[in-house]
Amino acid sequence: MMSHATTIERLTGDERVYEPNSPISAVDLFCGAGGLTHGLIWAGIRVEAGIDIDKDAEYAFRTNNPGVEFYDWDLTRTDYQEIACLFRPGTIRLLAGCAPCQPFSKLTNGAGKHKDWDLLDHFARIVRGIMPELVTMENVPELAERGRDVYLHFVHTLEDCGYRVAAEVVRCEEYGIPQSRRRLVLLASRLGNIAVPKGECRDPSHYRTVRQTIGELRPLAAGEADPDDPLHVASLLSPINLERIRATPRDGGTRRDWPEHLVLPCHRRPTGKTYGSIYGRMWWDKPAPTMTTLCTGIGNGRFGHPEQDRAITLREAALLQSFPRSYAFWPDGKKLNRTAVARMIGNAVPPKLAEALGRALLSHVAAIVECGGTGYD
């Protein structure tokens, strides 16, 4: 069996740079398919384990993050001591996680009754029990509004435990992600003051685009599959929806361009005038809209391909989330569960955002060491 030290690696282009001696040892809570873990590894952080109750995510997590353990533990029932022993001794410990965002999303009705509403409280409980040196949390911006009490409880827990806390709403496109996605990012440290890193791409004219990201993939018709990539499969469209997408102008067109006989009854009502992006096409030379768990259906947002008469595929959605082309989400030879894979992709922390956070954490630790100590117990 290969050792952990020989399997943890950071990918830089075609190079593989091994990072066996990272000063930071991380555990990823609510890890899903491993977007956060993958980005932290790219940055040079050693991730020891991911924890998630979603068994569908285990294959993707293990396959793409070799040597990192996956535990299908229910974090509402897990004793923090079980998690504490996963960290590598003698390191600076990072507890990372993105609790499910659905309870706080503006797309969710009855948010306070959502089954996952209290998961951030359990994250806080685990932080208080373990007292890791570093914490990072990522979620939708609405967490600080719709979930204000839950969010403030999390922040106050950190502050009461002696952490310096920094939190900002960031734009993912500023981190090289080809997607207009806003996220609430929190970093906390017991070592000293810390800041959320700024994206390096601040000029909108330099944002990575849909064309740059998926423009070279095999063209597909609705219902067609790429024989070389089981995730590059276009959803089959009904005759009426095929007529609708064909009536939607290429490169950014919307349903407002349809002839009257194609307009849905619900869109004829006054309340249907909003959400004009539904059934729309993406623009080639702009970032994509936010990838959701329903992003491979044209009726769920602006998820139409810029010029091909279909919705985007799972592979295209993963690339627009900044996953590498080789990222495997489902076992070969097993019938593809499109709903499960779409959920993994839409819920993921974009790896490029995770990489930026990982680099900031490593720089933070290096600065503390340079100042003459680590500052932790």
pLDDT at residue 148, as a whole number = 78
Four-residue CA torsion sign, 261, 271, 297, 353: positive
pTM: 0.90
- Per-residue pLDDT band for 277 (boundaries 50, 70, 90) equals confident
Q: Given a cut of 90, is residue 20 above it in pLDDT?
A: no
Question: What is the tens place of the pLDDT at every residue in 340-356?
Answer: 999 999 999 999 999 99
Residue-wise burial string across 340-372, b where 16 or more C-beta atoms lie within 10 A, e elsewhere:
bbbbbbbbbbbbbbbbbbbbbbbebbeebeeee
Give percent above pLDDT 90 in the chain. Answer: 78
Q: Is 70 left (phi over 0), alpha (psi -120 to 50) or beta?
A: beta
Q: Given a cut of 90, is residue 18 above it in pLDDT?
A: no
- Per-residue pLDDT band for 313 (boundaries 50, 70, 90) equals very high
Q: Which fold has domain 4-204+350-370?
A: Rossmann fold (3.40.50)
Tokens found for residue 307: 């010029």
101 included as an active-site residue: yes
pLDDT at residue 285, as a whole number = 98
- Per-residue pLDDT band for 98 (boundaries 50, 70, 90) equals confident
Of 101, 201, 266, 295, the active-site residue reads 101
Question: What is the tens place of the pLDDT at every residue in 319-332?
Answer: 999 999 999 999 99
Q: Given a cut of 90, is residue 65 above it in pLDDT?
A: yes
Mean pLDDT score, 79-99 = 95
Assess contact for 301 and 292: CB atoms under 8 A: yes
